[in-house]
Amino acid sequence: MKLVVAYIRHEAFEPIRQELLELGFPSMSITEVKGSGRQKGVTEQYRGSSVTNYLRPKVKIECVVATGDVQTIVDSILRHARTGSIGDGKVFVLPVEQAYRIRTGESGEETLQSHPDPAAAV
């Protein structure tokens, strides 16, 4: 199993979520992060003094998938997150040794099984 971590722009998230859902990967977690990279900062002014904020808001996607599915996920992210301009972000792949589904207690790759119709469940 692998953990795919991606840092992307806010607008890119929704299309990615939808495609992964269609591909049968409804499960993921996102976090609002601040990223620094090649992108310019924003300069703020207040009553005369000013400060530059070098951190730009990004969305971090974390998605643990079976090793065989990694490329599918990465491709989908690369396709939708790309605008071609600085600040598009990065994707990283990390090894995962074990996984558990809390609800059932089951462990291993099957906890990552894609569900046909995620919307059906309550």
Partner 1 sequence: MKRTTILCASVMALVALMLLPTVASADTFDAAGAESLTSVGINTMWVVVAALFVMFMQAGFAFLEIGFSRGKNAGTIVAKILMNFSIAALMYWAVGFALAFGGTGELWGSTGFFLRDFGDPSVAFPAMSFSDVTVDGKFFFQFTFCAVSLAIVWGTTLERVKFGVYAIYAVVFAALIYPIGSHWVFGGGWLQANLGMQDFAGSTAVHLIGATGALAVLLLLGPRRGKYGADGRPRPIPGHNMPLFGLGILILWLGWFGFNPGSTLGALDGRFPEVIIVTQLAASAGVIMAIITSRLLMKKIDIGMAGNGAIAALVGITAPSGYVSPWAAVIIGAVAGVLVVVSVLAIDRKIDDPVGALSAHGIAGIWGTLACGLFTNPALADYNAVGEGGLFYTGSFHQLGVQALGVVTVFAFVFVASFITFFLIKKTYGLRVTADEEDAGLDISEHGMYGYPEQFIPAPELVGVGPVQTPAGATASSGMKPSEVPA
Ligand X SMILES: Nc1ncnc2c1ncn2[C@@H]1O[C@H](COP(=O)(O)OP(=O)(O)O)[C@@H](O)[C@H]1O
Work out whether 71 is an interface residue with ligand X (CB under 6 A): no
Figure out which of the listed residues 12, 20, 59, 64 binds ligand X, where binding follows CB under 6 A. Answer: 64
Q: Which is nearer to ligand X, 47 or 110 (CB)?
A: 110
Return all residues near 7 (Cβ < 8 A) that are at least 6 apart. Answer: 33, 35, 58, 59, 60, 89, 90, 91
SS3 53: strand
Work out whether 45 is an interface residue with a copy of itself (CB under 8 A): no
Which residue is associated with the tokens 């040794």?
A: 97
Q: Which is nearer to ligand X, 48 or 97 (CB)?
A: 97
Work out whether 88 is an interface residue with a copy of itself (CB under 8 A): yes
With CB under 5 to 8 Å by kind, the binding choice for 49 among ligand X, partner 1, a copy of itself, none is: partner 1
Q: Which is nearer to ligand X, 15 or 92 (CB)?
A: 92
Q: In a 10 Å sphere around its CB, with 0-12 CB exposed, 13-18 middle and 19+ buried, how is residue 89 labelled?
A: buried
